[in-house]
Amino acid sequence: MRDVTITELERLGGGIADAEATFQMDEEAFRRFYERTARPVWAYLARMTGDPRLADDLLQEAYYRFLRARPALDDEAHRRNYLFRIATNLVHDIRRRPHVDDNALPERGECETSEAHGGDVAADTVRRIDLARAMARLKPRERDLLWLAYAQGSSHGEIAQTLGLKASSIKMLLFRARRRLAAILRDTER
């Protein structure tokens, strides 16, 4: 393997500093933003793709695109919506690939965490698997809508911004998606 000279290391360090200058926020601001958003974004990616490992990769990609983007993001809510929009687009890109398994089933590792919350582990696991299967039967946009509205707690305006839809259409779309998921979940319970 070729030795790396000090000069080359200095050049690399300088290059990284230059690269950081192109980001939309400094490292400290990014760290604070990341601490608040990384877990919810990962949860969204994991549920929408059904693959925690893929969610890890997409998380890195989402933040990379977020840092490189230069939109006018004046507050935390806008930044958060923009990040979710990037995540949504990444999930849509993945869905277009033919080989992806669209059954959003929770993995063993995810289920084990239920114990930490002190609930009934077995029942909770079954409920989550039922939900994952029910979600897999919905259209991708319905999944996005329901997650953003009821897991993430986003407003209709925020959902419209994230999914690139008209705010006026969210209410009806959400109503239909919710009715459909509720019916599937009730069928599963019987």
Partner 1 sequence: MIECLREADVFEAIAFGRWPADADAELRGHVAHCPVCRDLVTVAAALQSDRQALVGAAQPPTAGVVWWRAAVRTRAEATRTAMQPITMWHRVVAACVAVVAAVLSRDLWQWGRAADVLASFGGQRAALVLVGLVAALVLAPLALYFTLADD
Q: Give the residues lining the site for partner 1 (CB under 8 A).
A: 12, 15-16, 18-20, 22-23, 27, 30-31, 34-35, 38-40, 42-43, 46-47, 52, 56, 59-60, 63-64, 67-68, 106, 109-114, 116-117, 124, 127-128, 131-132, 146-147, 150-153, 171-172, 175, 178-179, 181-182, 185-186
> What CA dihedral angle connects 9, 11, 13 and 14, to 10 degrees?
160
Q: Closest CB to partner 1 among 150 and 167?
A: 150
Q: Closest CB to partner 1 among 99 and 188?
A: 188
CA distance 95 to 144: 13
Q: Closest CB to partner 1 among 47 and 99?
A: 47
Q: Angle at the Cα of 157 (from 155 to 159), degrees rounded to 5? A: 70
CA distance 15 to 107: 40
Residue 168 identity: S
Nearest distance from residue 114's CB to partner 1, in Å? 6
Q: How many CB atoms lie within 10 A of CB 71?
A: 11
Q: Closest CB to partner 1 among 27 and 93?
A: 27
Q: In this structure, are residues 61 and 110 in contact, taking their beta carbons and an 8 Å threshold? A: no
